[in-house]
Structure 1
Amino acid sequence: MKKIGFSIVLMLFAVSAFSQTWVSDASHSRLGFNISHLMISHVTGNFKQFEAKASTSKADYSDLKVDLTAQIASVNTDQEQRDNHLKGEDFFDAQKYPTLTFKSTGLKKIKGNQYKLTGNLTMHGVTKSVVLDVVFEGKVTNPMNKKEIAVFTIKGVVKRSDFGIGNKYAAAVVGDEVTLDASVEFSPAN
């Protein structure tokens, strides 16, 4: 009986010893998107201000939980007039809905370092469940600060109409499907 109790204590210690909270490194992370324009060209952009937190208790990150918040006012397509239009009532309405959030609800390993991340995406006051493709690129010790980093790339497609964004614009003008493309470098929270 003592051996079982000791084994449980060791197992709990091992789990708590590895249990980590990670935060995104803003200078080495990108939250981007791509959407069609007039059905033949594409506009790319990103959110310049976002934070992501991840937590895991397993060395292979298979129980990864992610929370992300992006500031809508930081939307950037390298064209000021378009950016201001996107921030306005026709699209994101940044005054009324200043953030978009993502909170993961599950992670499923597909194969190797590939996963499906399910979570709730909230934009423009609407929350929808989405499934994203995640690749765990690996981890390494940063030679500059000696901290371990873990990198993930995330891709997925959402429909702007599901969130009530830009409803007065037909998909032939501004595509309905928005491709998400992110790369996030995490380091342990201090």
Structure 2
Amino acid sequence: MSSIKWEVDPDHSSVEFSVAHLMINKIKGAFEHFEAILSFDPNDVTTMGIQASIEANSITTRQRQRDEHLRSEDFFHAAKYPVITFQSTSCVLAGERQYELAGNLTLHGVTKPVTFHTVFEGFNQDPRGRERVGFHSTARIERNEFGLTFNSPLETGGIVVGNEVSIELYIEAIKVI
């Protein structure tokens, strides 16, 4: 079978992250505006290709002041770098329904390779008869490698914001006809 295109359904998908705060807790956030096109042979998920983009300005941590700071020059500098992108380069079988989806993440004007550990959740049909597919993906990045270096030292030792960022994607996509 040939490659089929699937468009991510943002109403049934999420792009989330978490990062350490004060070295004692994790702060979670999400991006509200994103889009992606997947292309793969349904009989062979290793043929997966993906092009995705996220609006940096759509970041939310449910705290307005922190969100404004994250959009500023100290972090994402969303005015200068409005889009975060991911372009896949390979997809390798890593276990039953498990894949390693590698690609290039461009964030804050810096492009680095990132691998998403991906679980294929399967296919189904929605009430309108459209074919859908689901994936759950996770990755970890070091934010300083992307030029996101802002931080403040704590009087008791340590830093305010951790360097390691956990990314979690819940993806549901609709077959493009």
Instruction: Answer yes or no: same fold by TM over 0.5.
Output: yes
TM-score (norm 2): 0.94
CA RMSD across the alignment: 1.2
Which structure features the higher share of strand residues?
2
From the CA coordinates, give the structure whose radius of gyration is larger: 1
Give the equivalent residue in structure 1 for 2:12.
28
Distance in 2 between residues matched to 1:116 and 1:103, nearest whole Å:
14
Q: 2:45 is paired with a residue of what secondary structure? A: coil
2:131 to 148, 168, 175: 148
Which residue type is aligned with residue 47 of structure 1? F
Residues 1-190 of structure 1 mapped to structure 2, 5 A cutoff: 15-16=1-2, 19-142=3-126, 144-169=127-152, 172-190=159-177
Which structure features the higher share of helix residues?
1
Percent identical pairs in the alignment equals: 38
Alignment size in residue pairs:
173
Distance in 2 between residues matched to 1:24 and 1:68, nearest whole Å:
9
Q: Which runs of 5+ in 2 are unaligned?
A: none
Shift of 1:57: 2.7
Distance in 2 between residues matched to 1:132 and 1:44, nearest whole Å:
18
TM-score (norm 1): 0.87
Which residue type is aligned with residue 43 of structure 2? A
Shift of 1:58: 4.4
Shift of 1:132: 1.2
Q: 1:62 is paired with a residue of what secondary structure? A: strand
Q: Which moved more, 1:91-100 or 1:58-67?
A: 58-67
